[in-house]
Amino acid sequence: MSEHESSTLKKNRIFTVLIGIVLVLIGWNVRLFWIQVASATHLTDRGIDLVENSVVQREQGIVLDSGRGDFVDRNGVSLTGKTMRVLTAFPIETDPSGAAEREASLARAAKVLGVPERQLTVFLDSLTAPQIWTVDGRAAALTEDQAQRLDALGLPDLRVTTYKERYDRRQPAAQVIGYVGQNPERITKQFTDQFHKGELQLTSKIGNAGLEKTFEPWLRGIGATSVSLFTDAARRPLPGLDIRTVTPGNPYYPLKIVTTLDRKLQERIEGKLEQWAIRDGAVVVMDIENADVIAMASRPSFQPEHVDMANEAGWGNRALKAETPGSIFKTVTAAAAMDEHVVKPGETFHCDGELGKFGFTCWKKEGHGTLTLEEGFAQSCNIVFAEVAQRLGGERLERYAQSLGLTNRVGWLGDTSAAAGFRQLDGEEAGQVYAASTDRKDAGALVQTAIGQRDVLLTPLQAANLVVTLFHGGQVLSPRVVQEVRFRNERLYERFDSRHAADAEAFPSIHQATAKTMLGWMTQVVDHGTGSALQAAKWPVAGKSGTAQVQLAGGKPGENHWFIGYGPADHPKYAVAVLIRHVPAGTKNKSILLFQEAMDILAEADQ
C-alpha cells in the first residue's frame, strides 16, 4: 500500500469515528428531550410522574418576604414590614427508626413554644405544605432564646427562619397606609404593560387603597425571599441540599417610602380615639410651618390583612371624606366680611335667638344679646353670621372659600418619575360650598351656608389646612404625607418637596392682616367663648368649634362635632382638626376634649 493510500484510509477512519460520536450525541439529546419534555407528563414503568414530582420538590418552600417596599415614619421608625424570627414547619417523612428520639425532641419543642405537645404534633401531622407556626392566626414571633433552643433540637422538619410581617396586629395609620390584595381588573387596566411582560399576574397582590395604592410603582419589588426544603417524591429531605434561602440580594431594592408621620404620636392619638370610644371620625395633626401631616387617625378602624373591599366604611379614610362642617365654616364668613369691609369697626349686632325669616334660629334659644362680629365668632352666634352673609352674597362667600383652599382637593399633587399629575392621597374628596343646582342668590340658602350648613362640605384635612393657610397669610399649602423615597442602601431616589396647592394662584388670597386677625379671634374662642374648656390644656391653645346638623340612617336627627385650632397659641407649631361624625342629636360634644387630648400629647412630645 502506498503512502498516499495509507493516509486516505486513516482519514476515512477518523471521519467514521467522528460521525459515530455525532450520532451518539444526537441520540443522547433525543433521549434527554424525551425524558424531560415528551414523556415527563406520562407515568414511567415505576409509576412516577416526573413533572408532578419536580413540582413537589419545588413546593416545599414558603415566602418569608414578598420583596415589597416598606413605609417608615419621619424619624425612620418602621410603619410596615416588621422582621421577626419564626418557626417554619415542613411536611416531610421522618425516619421511623428514630421515633422515640423525635418524640422527645417534639416534647422539648412544645415546651419552648409554651403549648401542649399534642397541639404541636397535630399541627405537624396536618401539614400538606410548609407553614409558619401561628398564634391566633398570625405568625408567632420567637424570642432569641426560643430561636436558639429550637435550632439546637435539630429537627429536620422544624426550622427557625426570619419572616417579614407587613402589618402589625394593631397597625398604626391603617387608613393612611391602606392595604394590598388581589385585584385582577386593575392589573389588566392600569398595569397593562407589566401584565403583558409577565411582571404581574392576575393573582399578584397590589396596593388597593391608601399609600399602598398611590405609591404602587415605587413599592413593587424585584422578587421575593423564600426558603425551601428539597425533598424527593417520598417527601424525604434530599442529602446535601437541605434548606436553601432564595433572595434577590439587590443592594438597592426594595425601595423605602419615608412618610411625614410620627409613629409615636399617631399611636397615642389613636389610643385616645379608642379611649373615648369614638366609632366614626378623624383627627388630623399638621406641621404649621410646611403643612406636613404628622398624624392622621381615622375611625372605624380595620385590619389591613382582613379587608372587605365592598365595605369602604371599614377601610376608608375619614380624614379625606367631605362632611358638613357647621360653625367652623364661620371662619370663612368672618374672613370674607373683614376683607370686603362689609362690617364697620366696632359695629354691633343683636341676637334674640331668631333671625325673623327663613325659620332661621340661633343655637342659643334665648339669644346672645348685643355683640360685635368678633364676639359673635367667639360665641358662635348664628344670627350675627346670617346678617353678615346677607351683606356679602353667595358668590363672594363661595369665592373666599375657594381662595382658602376649601373647594378642591388640597393633598400633594405634582409631576414625579412615576407619573405626571401624581397625587399622594388616595380617595381624597373635594370640599363644597354650594351644590351645582343651588341658586347663589337664594337668601334662605345663603344664611344656612354662612354657618356651614345646607350644601357646605369640608374634609378634616382641609379643615386643618385652613388653619395652616391663615398662618401663611392666606397662601394655601399642599399637605404631604410622604416626603421622599429612598433606596435600600439609604441613597435618595426621589423627593416630594413642600409646595403650594395646585390651584393656589387661581383665586386671590385673603389679606395677611385678615388672616392674622382670624388667628387672634381663635384665642378669644378659648378665652371666653365656646372653647373655654380648653383653658385646662397643658399649653395655651386656640381654635373654633362647630356642630353641624345632619341626618342619620332612618331619617333620625344627628350631628357632626368639630373643633379646629392650633397650639401652642403663643408660639404656634401644630394645626389640629377633630371630627366626630354622625352622633345622635344632643350627644355631648367630645370634639373639644379630644382636641385637648391631641394638644396635650403634642405638648408632652415637645418637652
Within 10 Å of residue 27's Cβ, how many Cβ atoms?
A: 10
Q: Can you name the residues that pair with 480 across neighbouring β-strands?
A: 292
What string of DSSP letters covers 410-475? Answer: -S-EE--SS-TTEESSTTPPP-BSS-TTS-TT-HHHHHHHHTT-TT-BB-HHHHHHHHHHHHTTTP
Question: Residue 43 has which C-alpha cell?
Answer: 407515568
- Report cis status (omega within 30 of 0) of the bond before 254: yes
Whole-number pLDDT of residue 98: 74
Instruction: Find all residues with CB under 8 Å of 375, minimum gap 6, and list them.
Output: 368, 381, 524
515/521 Cα distance (integer angstroms):
10
What is the three-class DSSP state of 479?
A: coil
CA angle 45, 47, 53 (to 5 degrees): 125
Contact in structure between 354 and 214 (CB atoms under 8 Å) = no
428 half-sphere exposure, CB direction, 13 A CA radius: 26
Packing angle of the helix pair 330-339, 460-471 (nearest 10 deg)? 30
Looking at residue 359, the DSSP 8-state letter turns out to be T
What is the three-class DSSP state of 211?
A: helix
What is the three-class DSSP state of 114?
A: coil
CA angle 531, 297, 427 (to 5 degrees): 115
89/211 Cα distance (integer angstroms):
34
- Report cis status (omega within 30 of 0) of the bond before 568: yes
Instruction: Find all residues with CB under 8 Å of 192, minimum gap 6, and list them.
Output: none
Whole-number pLDDT of residue 96: 79
9/496 Cα distance (integer angstroms):
81
Residue 298, amino acid: S
Q: Can you name the residues that pair with 88 across neighbouring β-strands?
A: 132, 159
Packing angle of the helix pair 394-403, 443-450 (nearest 10 deg)? 30
Question: Residue 355 has which C-alpha cell?
Answer: 333671625
Whole-number pLDDT of residue 404: 96
591 half-sphere exposure, CB direction, 13 A CA radius: 34
Beta-strand ranges (E) seen in 278-382 are: 281-287, 293-299, 348-351, 369-372
Contact in structure between 449 and 455 (CB atoms under 8 Å) = yes
Looking at residue 509, the DSSP 8-state letter turns out to be P
397 half-sphere exposure, CB direction, 13 A CA radius: 32
Instruction: Find all residues with CB under 8 Å of 76, minimum gap 6, and list them.
Output: 258
Which helix (H) or strand (E) segment holds residue 160: the answer is: strand 158-165
Contact in structure between 597 and 270 (CB atoms under 8 Å) = no
Looking at residue 356, the DSSP 8-state letter turns out to be S
Whole-number pLDDT of residue 52: 42
Grid coordinates 397582590 are at which residue? Answer: 205
Nearest CA among 477, 496, 325 for reference residue 404: 477
Question: Residue 214 has which C-alpha cell?
Answer: 398611590
Whole-number pLDDT of residue 243: 74
Residue 266, amino acid: Q
Q: Is the dihedral of CA 440, 443, 445, 450 positive or negative?
A: positive
Could you tell me what percentage of the chain is helix, strand and coil, using 3-state DSSP and rounding each to the nearest 5?
Answer: 40, 20, 40
Q: For the chain (length 607 residues), average pLDDT per consecutive 10?
A: 57 66 65 52 44 44 91 97 94 79 92 94 89 92 96 90 93 95 86 79 88 96 84 62 80 96 98 95 98 97 78 83 98 97 94 93 94 97 96 96 95 94 96 95 95 97 98 96 97 96 80 97 97 97 97 93 97 98 93 97 94
Pairing of strands 158-165, 134-135: unpaired
Instruction: Find all residues with CB under 8 Å of 404, minimum gap 6, and list them.
Output: 332, 335, 466, 469, 474, 476, 510
Nearest CA among 427, 495, 84 for reference residue 258: 495
504/410 Cα distance (integer angstroms):
9
Instruction: Find all residues with CB under 8 Å of 430, minimum gap 6, and list them.
Output: 322, 407, 408, 409
321/428 Cα distance (integer angstroms):
6
- Report cis status (omega within 30 of 0) of the bond before 248: no
Whole-number pLDDT of residue 302: 86
Looking at residue 325, the DSSP 8-state letter turns out to be -
